[in-house]
Structure 1
């Protein structure tokens, strides 16, 4: 058989063939291999289940260095380097000749490096488990993405105590969000909200209740997630029977909305979405309830679960989203609040206010005053007569006036009624969520 050396044209093609592609002919990524945003290539696992490379995000000129499910149509991302920081066209990642995995921006500046803890790497690989590994000359792992999880864990992954998962900021923004899943050093698995500006940790809104008993959190190769206890017993998080990983891809993700969910996706299916196996907490809207922080949604908004049991955030009448592209950021009043300055001659007349209602809605953490009142008109009057009152909650027995900003807003069943202060003659629909919920129902029914 003729070799490439016998054919000058073939020899030239071999020389020009990308090194990154040649490095993967046997599943191993050799030193000197690189990927660029311009070559549209990736390093893939032996069976092609996972790929590592630059993923375009939101803009053709913005990329995320990530690992994703490569055989799922939506190419679901499970890990990202440099925690969600996007890079521009012209950036590159390289497994250098010294055994370092380095991300450089389009100016050639190193902005992220996989910190090898022991020895130096002589090769790398993307495994069929979704784990990116750097290997030494003895095929020992010197660094792995499984030790630096972002928001997702995969079958065969083990988390030690002290490990934290952080949600994304939004569904399409892979920077760290305000929710954390912590496998604490006391053995308790806990969900928290945090203040992104100060890193202040709010109270937990869910926990496994297993402090003092666990040593590892395991996502086994059969698709079950459990906490292995020090005495050898297990505390299952995945309940009941589950579809085998032979038939379905599995992942567990702390989603941007604060819910930890386990998902499956059939391996031989061309559908568009993952199915939820289980999730905690069951109702994120009511799970977060404390005196500081905004709750599941942003300040001045309220939370409701849609038909898929995912939270949606809505604004009260005459309020609008701070950011229409991110409804979880909260709402602002679309009017000048009632003034507390006394009226006087020569001044512009102050606008008059009225109360509009939202049934079964409450912001339980924003009380300014409480009154014994069985009369709704009296409750309305209490808020109208208080220049600092933004709304009142009437329970049929008591009246509670609320001040801005409003937090932990929820809507449910019962007799509680929110009475919202708005300018006279300028009231929007009292039920702003109904149209969207109606379309959600039609979508569910396939109409």
Structure 2
């Protein structure tokens, strides 16, 4: 009789979600929109407990649903797979009834998928935290409760018999709401199962927790009283919690598949929303560090790390000696070695040089085993791993020795255990990159030859370039000196050869004027200056006496190294002093 009463009681509890549509809410009409640029870029429920719209997130915005009355503004649902949008984005309920998310340039990046035959008339943010799209007849055709992301709220149900999502995923980390590697699903066989997923694909690894309700479970219910349970085909229920639920009248409540893979129910006191905090009522699995994750993946923590349950019953990911976090801001992402990996040398001494074994008590990586030896002692186990270039760590326990390969995976701490993890790490001398094999040495010798040859050619090239540079500098200096000596005569005079004047005047072509004994021509120098060239033709009738005088004058000029002044660099005069035709001086 008592059992019958209990079933009837839970039957009444199941009816609470049916009354959701009867609650008060404010319609969001077609054509309404919210932008990240708005002062209040969201719609709130009538009670003010929930908001739907744009939530600030690291200089970006998430389209989300969140608890609006508590300081932490806990997000319980996200659109667009948790990917944030930039400033200027807009969420709009179009005139056609489409709930659409677009970027600042108007590109649609997400929309609520509604049956093509359904005509949306309005939207509403309900007091339950459910954001819905409804027809004019108040029929809900789309709801956030039907498409959970990582959280369930009171009055929310997963039912595989209906056309709604019966699975959801964790987020990547505390501040990253994109899809993580853990997944909860109420399967069509009635079994509630938790998996790890090989992202970015959808391939599932072996389940790490299951309700064991195959062919019996039908619904996962989070009712108005705060109880979470599975309904069974046999007519009963299976509660996921052994604790007595707290009232939803006094506490905000949610159930979240956290980024560490644990499904937890949280409560937050409504009486002190400004000073309260979320408390965990119960969780499954209770010790995820010891959960079995099968033969693939890294488990709770990333590769080369191990899991420890802290005093708050939450997993912590730690790095073994000689390793550090890949991302200090996300310790669940694994660890990396701080030393150069051991190389498989043929010489055993060279192989172990620079490496030591460090002990870590009560820790094991039960998978990724290369070898299992028995019976051996700890010292033998340590030396064997040190010499084995494929061994990253060894586990010594009584007479057993397990050699572990790199990377280490699915490790965890075992309290009060006498197991000893022996971690191979590099000491200070291991920071170098060691040589490996004879073949490698031969290649290195060939490379050394090419390096020497290249260095020699480079040295010769530099030497030749230096010689050319010195020669060029000396040559320029010599030319400058010769030019100064040849063309400078006094401070304001410049001497020109007959050929230079002939070129400047274009063959004495343009006549400017003519005097009794000379003619003036227009000329242009190489520098661009316009000059007047005065040409004086002197026709001499000389006899023997005049020739003797001119010869003496030329010889005197020659002795004083002033012959160039006499002939004014006239090449014809130089060749034949006996036929001196003229001396020309031009003042600039």
Alpha-carbon distance in 1 for matches of 2:300, 2:220: 26
CA deviations over 1:18-75 (Å, ceiling 9, x no partner): xxxxxxx9722111111110113110001001000101112x2x11000000112100
- TM-score w.r.t. length of structure 1: 0.86
Alpha-carbon distance in 2 for matches of 1:168, 1:424: 38
Match for residue 88 of structure 1? 86
Does residue 1:45 correspond to 2:45, yes or no?
A: yes
Q: Secondary structure at the match of 1:170?
A: coil
Q: Which runs of 5 or more structure 1 residues have no equivalent in the other structure? A: 1-24, 428-447
Does residue 1:135 correspond to 2:138, yes or no?
A: no
2:207 corresponds, among 204, 207, 221, to: 204
More divergent stretch after superposition (389-398 vs 335-344): 335-344
2:106 corresponds, among 99, 105, 108, to: 108
Kept after mapping to 1: 8 A contact 2:351/2:387: no
2:374 corresponds, among 372, 386, 389, to: 372
Task: Give the structure with the larger helix fraction.
Answer: 2
The CA deviation at 1:231 is 3.2
Q: CA RMSD in A?
A: 1.9
Match for residue 389 of structure 1? 391
Match for residue 167 of structure 2? 164
Alpha-carbon distance in 2 for matches of 1:305, 1:246: 33
Match for residue 73 of structure 2? 75
1:330 corresponds, among 326, 331, 334, to: 334
Bigger relative contact order, structure 1 or 2 (CA pairs below 8 A, ≥6 apart): 1
The 5 Å alignment of 1:304-319 reads 304-319=308-323
Structure 1 residues 379 and 37, CA, compared in 2 at 3 Å: closer, same or farther?
same
Task: Give the structure with the larger strand fraction.
Answer: 1
Aligned residue pair count: 399
Alpha-carbon distance in 2 for matches of 1:317, 1:426: 17
Match for residue 430 of structure 1? none
The 5 Å alignment of 1:114-263 reads 114-117=112-115, 118-161=117-160, 163-263=166-266
Match for residue 398 of structure 1? 400
Larger-Rg structure: 2
The CA deviation at 1:242 is 1.5
CA deviations over 1:162-200 (Å, ceiling 9, x no partner): 610100011111111000001000000000001112221
Q: Secondary structure at the match of 1:203?
A: coil
Alpha-carbon distance in 2 for matches of 1:349, 1:131: 63
Kept after mapping to 1: 8 A contact 2:396/2:402: yes
Q: Post-superposition, which runs of at least 4 consecutive aligned residues in structure 1 deviate over 3 A?
A: 347-351, 424-427
Alpha-carbon distance in 1 for matches of 2:305, 2:233: 44
Kept after mapping to 2: 8 A contact 1:302/1:313: yes
Alpha-carbon distance in 1 for matches of 2:397, 2:236: 47
The CA deviation at 1:289 is 3.7
Kept after mapping to 1: 8 A contact 2:243/2:281: no
Alpha-carbon distance in 1 for matches of 2:414, 2:55: 40
CA deviations over 1:317-358 (Å, ceiling 9, x no partner): 1111122221111111111121102249xx999742111110
Q: Which runs of 5 or more structure 2 residues have no equivalent in the other structure? A: 1-23, 431-588
Alpha-carbon distance in 1 for matches of 2:118, 2:248: 34
Match for residue 412 of structure 1? 414
Alpha-carbon distance in 1 for matches of 2:52, 2:293: 39
Alpha-carbon distance in 2 for matches of 1:152, 1:271: 23
The CA deviation at 1:271 is 2.9
Match for residue 32 of structure 1? 31
Q: Secondary structure at the match of 2:401?
A: strand
Alpha-carbon distance in 1 for matches of 2:294, 2:108: 42
Q: Secondary structure at the match of 2:208?
A: strand
Match for residue 63 of structure 1? 61
Alpha-carbon distance in 2 for matches of 1:318, 1:259: 29
Match for residue 14 of structure 1? none
Kept after mapping to 1: 8 A contact 2:226/2:248: yes
